[in-house]
Structure 1
Amino acid sequence: MNAVALFVAVFLACTVEAVEATTIVLAAGTARDWRSALNGVVAGLVVLAGVVLALGPAVSHIPIGALRLFVGGLLLVFGLQWLRKAILRASGYKDLHDEALIYQRELQAAQAAPREHRAGIADWYAFTLSFKGVVLEGLEVAFIVLTFGSNQHNVPLASVAALSAVVVVAGAGFAARAPLARVPENTMKFAVGTMLTGFGTFWGAEGAGAGWPGSDAALLWLVPAIAALALGIVAVLRRTRAAQAAAPLTNRVEAVR
């Protein structure tokens, strides 16, 4: 994987997480108290920095074969999970991810919660909501940076890609003071899920001792092949869903006859 591919893969994956975290922080700040919400963001970033500083050196000391096997397995877990949800959403078996609706739910919950002053924080609910959102979504960002960066021996570039995604998404969200509902998150999750599954398969097999024809160039056909398979599953599920929807109508017509 060259530097451009590494940057794009990490940037896209981290954009998805940044959208979700930004939505939570916007709801906390808009409905409650911006200062408390931003304090929660800062506290969450401090925790994430500690996690990266603690795990980064440890990951870099793992032998490359064992690292690729471990990273490949984890990427497959994340990638297949994202890809499964994207397939179900694309085929109509699961509701599409609606960032505007999620924002409204978070906003209503924040408005209904009682205000509490604690530990020098004016609004403890806004603080904890932002803190949890940043930490939970940020842990996935940290995982993506460490796994992709360590495996390619370029953690700094992976970190720059992740930081760029966070800055772009957060800047757009706070400038508009609204959820990033126009970001095609479902499409992005499909693409990112495909990429993570492809990289996980590639690195996991390499870590287990297998060789790929063309080395890294195998990713050029492996990732598209996974995407084609996923799209084929979507097509089959759509036809199945359409047939299931038409069945009750057919049964009613037969009953009338």
Structure 2
Amino acid sequence: MPPDFWTVLFPAVTAAFLASIVEVVEAFTIVLAVGTTRGWRPAIAGTAAALAVLALIVLILGPALRFIQIQALQLVVGILLLLFGMGWLRKAVLRSAGVIALHDETLAYDAETAELRAQTGAPRTLQWIAGIAAFKAVLLEGLEVAFIVVAIGAGKGLLREASLGATAACALVLIVGAAMHKPLSQVPENTLKFGVGVMLSAFGVFWTGEGLGAEWPGADLALLPLAALFLLAGIGLARVARTTPAGSNA
């Protein structure tokens, strides 16, 4: 087992895996609504087309980043990961505090189903619209996953490992979703977003520092106290937000 397994490889793959679960669960809800309302042919076709586009993005963008000087790459990726991670962490904190509502997959499924059923037109046209809905849902949710996979892979040369983590998450959600045949509302999305936000923020600070030429005490082990810092800050902010009479909206 490599010495950086627990400090770099495991957190990177875990972040890609958990982030993918969150996004795939949300995309699956829309695809399920399309399949149960307009048939599985447009649902599968739209999903397959979106996955092909996402795979192409990862295959092109990932290797292309190797031609960028490593410190410049770490700086850019670090800043983007920090902004992205803080965005996830902020929403997770506000939802944990009750300032904004938790995401409800059952409500999302009902809303999408009602919208699809309200559409009128020729059967072929309705199937085409439904396929576009599935394509758009998978593509939009998948772009966040693709960004995380490419960003994590670019920072430490873990593109294959991060991709495997994301692929495993997709397979898990699809298997469970196909077996249950209903929205996966029991998945603790906000808890997962909180954890992913913590990890991405920690990676962001770490790689931004490396991009600026900083020497981290303990090298890769510095990721652990950085993650702990973001975790404690997130928990503390959630408690403060709960006791604040009027919270701000997301």
The reply to whether residue 77 of structure 1 matches residue 92 of structure 2 is no
Contact kept? 1:14, 1:141, Cα under 8 Å: yes
Look up the equivalent residue of 2:139 and give its one-letter code: V
* Alpha-carbon distance in 1 for matches of 2:120, 2:144: 30
Deviation readout 1:129-165 (Å, 9 max, x if unpaired): 1100111111111111111112121211111111000
Cross-structure match for 1:53: 59
- Matching residue within 182, 203, 217 for 2:221: 217
Closer, same or farther: CA 116–190 of 1 in aligned 2, 3 Å: farther
Equivalent residue pairs, number: 241
| 1:116 positional shift | 4.3
Find out whether 1:11 has 2:28 as its counterpart: no
Shift of 1:6: 2.4
Report the counterpart of residue 26 of structure 1 in structure 2: 32
Partner of residue 227, structure 1:
231
Unaligned runs of 5+ in 2: none
Residue by residue over 1:39-66, the C-alpha shift from the partner in whole angstroms, topping out at 9 and shown as x without a partner, is 1111111211221222122112111101
- Among the aligned pairs, what percent are the same residue? 49
Cα deviation for residue 234 of structure 1 reads 1.1
Query: Which residue number in structure 1 is paired with residue 105 of structure 2?
Result: 99
Which whole-Å CA distance do the structure 1 matches of 2:165 and 2:190 have between them?
A: 21
Q: TM-score, normalised by structure 1?
A: 0.89
Could you tell me how far apart the structure 1 residues matched to 2:42 and 2:126 are? 6
> Is 1:135 aligned to 2:121, yes or no?
no
- Residue 145 of structure 1: which of 146, 149, 158 is its match? 149
Distance (Å, rounded) in 1 between the aligned partners of 2:116 and 2:123: 15
Letter of the 2:221 counterpart:
A
- Decide whether the 8 Å contact of 2:62 with 2:153 is kept in 1: no
Ranges in structure 1 where 5+ consecutive residues have no aligned partner: 246-257
CA displacement 1:219-246 (0-9 Å, x = unmatched): 11110111101111111111113xx69x
CA contact (8 A) 1:115 1:123 kept: no
Q: Which of 154, 163, 170 is residue 166 of structure 1 equivalent to?
A: 170
* 8 Å contact kept, 1:36–1:122: no
2:93 and 2:194 in contact (8 A); partners too: yes
Verify the 8 A CA contact 1:26 1:174 in the aligned structure 2: no
Q: Give the C-alpha shift of residue 31 in structure 1.
A: 1.3
How far does residue 5 in structure 1 lie from its aligned partner after superposition?
Answer: 2.7
